[in-house]
């Protein structure tokens, strides 16, 4: 018969062996993320073990703009990309590259601002005054450029009437200071930084002008060739992902976890000033992962009209909503913790 010590050692070896086997079975999913406040949903799902519970190890890569990483996704160097929609996406679909959108990442209200240089306040009083001006966007065919173009249309201009200069968001403040640009389309957390430091003056907001509403401007995209043999894995991935999104939405509405998510944003370097995350609104997300297909169709039409793309594809080619539907079925309906919140979005 085994002694107590021998039995204890045997149990320990079994447990350790089981843990090692479980870790050996973890599947790595490489994702590219454009860093913004909404990134904290995925970071939360990672840190709280929602992916790990399904045997998924997530490796993240920071991106300046998703417009430049369609090729990485199509080549399966990244399996998932979280970022803004771009003309490149529609062009890739037209070329039958193996990618598709599956879930919302940012939708109205966005908290985006079209800002002008402080010294131009009073000189530029309506969108029409931007004719011939230099406007910074984070990508020539990015969703930011679409937002600018749609806003200009409300006052009789087109994107061709302005000079679009491509700059990363983190370089726009310097460009304002040096008077290298006249205006810029800015997203959180940069909006609050620019306002607090006086780099720019808020002029117009896409939330007020761009239709159809809600505007879906950022999504999660997948490599469809990789997805075919990994459908169950991806269903689990997006179930874990949506849990993180719902925690984000609770914090968005001032829920009890808001401080926790703010600290995660600070710790990961997404934002450096805690007070701004309390002071300014966050961009919204859909707690059920829904993409507004009408918004996608309008973007596709705008990119084609303005010669950023030649694609004209039906709605069913633009997004695969099955992963969101599966995740919602597993998680059940979203229930808002802070019933007193009056904020639109994240509902």
Pairwise pLDDT comparison (133 vs 283), residue with the higher score: 133
For 66-115, how does the pLDDT look when each residue is reduced to its tens digit (9 = 90+)?
Answer: 556 888 999 999 999 998 899 999 999 999 999 999 999 999 998 899 99
Residue 176 reports pLDDT greater than 90: yes
For 7-49, how does the pLDDT look when each residue is reduced to its tens digit (9 = 90+)?
Answer: 433 433 333 343 343 445 789 999 999 878 899 999 999 999 9
Give the whole-angstrom CA distance, residue 117 versus residue 290.
36
Given a contact cutoff of 8 angstroms between Cβ atoms, the answer to whether 90 and 100 are in contact is no
Residue 127 reports pLDDT greater than 90: yes
Q: Do the first three CATH levels of 26-107+215-331 and 113-209 match, i.e. the same topology?
A: yes
Residue 323 reports pLDDT greater than 90: yes
Domain at 26-107+215-331: CATH code:
3.40.190.10
Give the whole-angstrom CA distance, residue 167 versus residue 171.
6
For 280-304, how does the pLDDT look when each residue is reduced to its tens digit (9 = 90+)?
Answer: 888 999 999 999 999 999 999 999 9
Domain ranges of the chain: 26-107+215-331, 113-209
Helix 40-47, helix 231-252: angle, nearest 10: 110
Residue 128 reports pLDDT greater than 50: yes
Give Cα separations from 142 to 136, 162, 232, 329 (angstroms).
11, 16, 32, 33
Q: What length does the chain have?
A: 347
Q: Which CATH class is domain 113-209?
A: alpha beta
The percent of residues above 70 in pLDDT, for the chain, comes to: 92
Give the whole-angstrom CA distance, residue 52 versus residue 204.
42
Given a contact cutoff of 8 angstroms between Cβ atoms, the answer to whether 28 and 61 are in contact is no
- C-alpha 215, offset from chain centre: 12
Give the whole-angstrom CA distance, residue 144 versus residue 138.
7
In which band, very low, low, confident or very high, does the pLDDT at 270 lie, cut at 50, 70 and 90?
A: confident
3-state secondary structure of 27: strand
DSSP H helices, the chain, are 4-24, 40-47, 70-74, 87-94, 143-153, 172-177, 190-197, 206-209, 224-227, 231-252, 258-267, 274-279, 293-305, 315-318, 322-331
Rounded average pLDDT over 253-258: 96
Per mean pLDDT, which range of 148-152, 225-229, 279-283 is the poorest? 279-283
| pTM listed for this prediction | 0.84
């Amino acid at each position: 018969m085994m002694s107590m010590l021998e039995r204890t050692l045997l149990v320990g070896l079994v447990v350790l062996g089981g843990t090692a086997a479980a870790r050996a079975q973890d599947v790595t999913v490489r994702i590219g993320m454009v860093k913004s406040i909404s990134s904290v949903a995925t970071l939360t799902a990672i840190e709280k073990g929602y992916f790990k519970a399904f045997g998924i190890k997530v490796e993240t890569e920071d991106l300046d703009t998703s417009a430049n990483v369609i090729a990485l996704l199509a080549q399966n160097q990244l399996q998932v990309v979280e970022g803004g929609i771009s003309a490149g996406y529609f062009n890739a679909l037209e070329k039958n590259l193996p990618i598709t959108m599956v879930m919302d990442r940012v939708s109205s209200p966005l908290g985006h601002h079209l800002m002008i240089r402080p010294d131009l306040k009073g000189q530029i009083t309506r969108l029409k005054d931007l004719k011939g001006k230099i406007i910074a966007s984070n990508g020539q065919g990015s969703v930011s450029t679409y937002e600018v173009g749609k806003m200009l249309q409300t006052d009789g201009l087109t994107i061709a009437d302005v000079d679009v200069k491509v700059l990363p968001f983190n370089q726009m403040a310097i460009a304002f200071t040096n008077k290298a640009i006249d205006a810029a389309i800015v997203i959180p957390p940069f909006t609050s930084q620019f306002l607090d430091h006086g780099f720019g003056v808020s002029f117009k907001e896409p939330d007020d002008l761009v239709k159809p509403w809600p505007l879906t401007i950022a999504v999660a995209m997948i490599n469809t060739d990789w997805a075919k043999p990994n459908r169950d894995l991806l269903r689990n991935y997006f179930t874990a992902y949506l849990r993180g999104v719902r925690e984000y939405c609770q914090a968005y509405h001032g829920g009890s976890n808001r401080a926790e998510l703010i600290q995660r944003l600070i710790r990961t370097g997404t934002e450096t000033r805690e007070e701004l995350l309390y002071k300014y609104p966050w961009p919204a997300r859909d707690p059920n992962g829904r993409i507004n297909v009408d918004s996608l169709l309008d973007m596709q039409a705008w990119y084609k009209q303005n010669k950023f793309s030649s694609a004209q594809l039906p709605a069913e080619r633009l997004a695969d909503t099955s992963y969101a539907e599966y995740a919602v079925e597993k998680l059940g309906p979203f229930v808002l913790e802070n019933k007193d919140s009056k904020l639109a979005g994240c509902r």
